[in-house]
Amino acid sequence: MPSPTVIIAQSDPRTAQGLAKDLHAHFSKVAVAQSAEELRTLLLRQEAQVAVLDLEIVQLEEVQKLTETFDDLAIICTHRSPDERMWMAALNAGAVEFCHPHDLHSILRATHAAAQRSLGLVA
């Protein structure tokens, strides 16, 4: 079974590298984008199925554009100080989940669930 590609865009480079290392233990293809522009390039080049995006790098409008542009892309949003309004706005923009960037357990769970959906293993 092929392993989905995961793209990470986080405002803190250490958080991005830590997530990449942890996710790479579960997925064979993990890439880190340094900016919103690089994110789009990686999404196109890598044909990613899952993106873990910090709302300090990617605005909600961009999340909505990405979900409209990339039909099979599952977006998991993160933010260092999320509130309920931000969480709802991210879900309304098309994100499948919203997590704190240091909540690795929740990010892994959401990434695995999104990957299974992209592979057609669950409805």
- What is the per-residue pLDDT across 15-34, written as a single tens digit (0 to 9) for each? 999 999 999 988 889 999 99
Could you tell me the pTM of the whole model? 0.91
Residue 36 lies in a domain: yes
Q: How many domains does the chain have?
A: 1
Cα–Cα distance, 106 to 97 (Å, whole number): 9
The identity of residue 85, as a single letter, is R
Residue 42 lies in a domain: yes
3-class secondary structure, 101:
coil
Are the C-beta atoms of 73 and 53 separated by less than 8 Å?
Answer: no
Cα–Cα distance, 31 to 8 (Å, whole number): 6
Residue 106 lies in a domain: yes
Structural domain that includes position 96: 5-118
Residue 30 lies in a domain: yes
Residue 28 lies in a domain: yes
Residue 59 sits in a domain whose CATH number is 3.40.50.2300
Cα–Cα distance, 87 to 104 (Å, whole number): 17
Cα–Cα distance, 50 to 3 (Å, whole number): 11
Residue 11 lies in a domain: yes
Task: Band the pLDDT of 47: cuts 50, 70, 90.
Answer: confident
Residue 123 lies in a domain: no
Residues 6+ apart with CB under 8 A from 31: 5, 6, 7, 8, 20, 42, 46, 48
Reply yes or no on whether the pLDDT at 122 is more than 70: no
